[in-house]
A and B are shown apart, each in its own frame.
Chain A
Amino acid sequence: DARVTQTPRHKVTEMGQEVTMRCQPILGHNTVFWYRQTMMQGLELLAYFRNRAPLDDSGMPKDRFSAEMPDATLATLKIQPSEPRDSAVYFCASARGGVGSPLHFGNGTRLTVT
């Protein structure tokens, strides 16, 4: 079965450090999403891309978060500098694109900022 691959699975870092999360979408999927999940806020959309172009990053704190797709097989989410409130599970998901396409989620990166 094709799957979305996220690395690392777990990350513990100190406040102020840079964090980079990576995602390999399913081959042939042209839409990639980044979601953040916390108990309080649930699944929040941070940003998404179609054909590597950013379509919406309104959910992302611009001063410290950045998302890119250097190529069709890699999406990255960076936090610099990290803060304790960034602690959450970050999910990447991909879809074939177009309205009504199912999202396929990766296993997530569990980030803890101390």
Chain B
Amino acid sequence: QQPVQSPQAVILREGEDAVINCSSSKALYSVHWYRQKHGEAPVFLMILLKGGEQKGHEKISASFNEKKQQSSLYLTASQLSYSGTYFCGTERANFGNEKLTFGTGTRLTIIP
């Protein structure tokens, strides 16, 4: 089942902050975050695992509320390079099944 992302799109001025949310109706083992620039492949940003472990870039912060099956990606002091579409991907960890299902994306535009 596809996770739901919000907002669908956001426009920020350089230096402003943004929060992108991702929620699932199913129990999750992990949430992934990826960024895709126009005409390019998605690029890994961060993974948040059940139990609190996180893997990813130092400059990216995110949270995972296991009780609510929700994750949020925090973009602070945004730069022009942050523009792109952000996808969350969710894993429901049945044994041996790490199928990653992506949300519909949040388009972020940073203007000078």
Q: Measuring CB to CB, which residues of chain A are less than 8 angstroms from any residue of chain B?
A: 31, 33, 35, 42-43, 45, 48, 50, 55-56, 91, 95, 97-108
Contacts and interface: CB of A to CB of B under 8 A. Distances in A.
A33 B42 CA distance: 13
Contacts of A99: 29-30, 49, 91, 93, 98
Contacts of B84: none
What is the interface of chain A mostly: helix, strand, loop, or mixed? strand
Give the bracket for the number of chain B residues in contact with chain A: 20 to 34
B108 interface: no
Given A91-B41, A105-B41, A100 B91 contact: yes
Contacts of B62: none
Contacts of B98: 31, 95, 97-101
B13 to A, nearest CB: 27
Nearest first, the 9 closest Cβ-Cβ pairs linking A and B are: A105-B41, A43-B102, A102-B44, A99-B98, A42-B104, A99-B93, A100-B30, A100-B49, A105-B42
B42 A43 contact: yes
B48 to A, nearest CB: 9
A77 B30 CA distance: 27
A73 B40 CA distance: 23
Given A43-B102, A56-B97, A100 B29 contact: yes
A76 to B, nearest CB: 19
A43 B41 CA distance: 11
B100 interface: yes
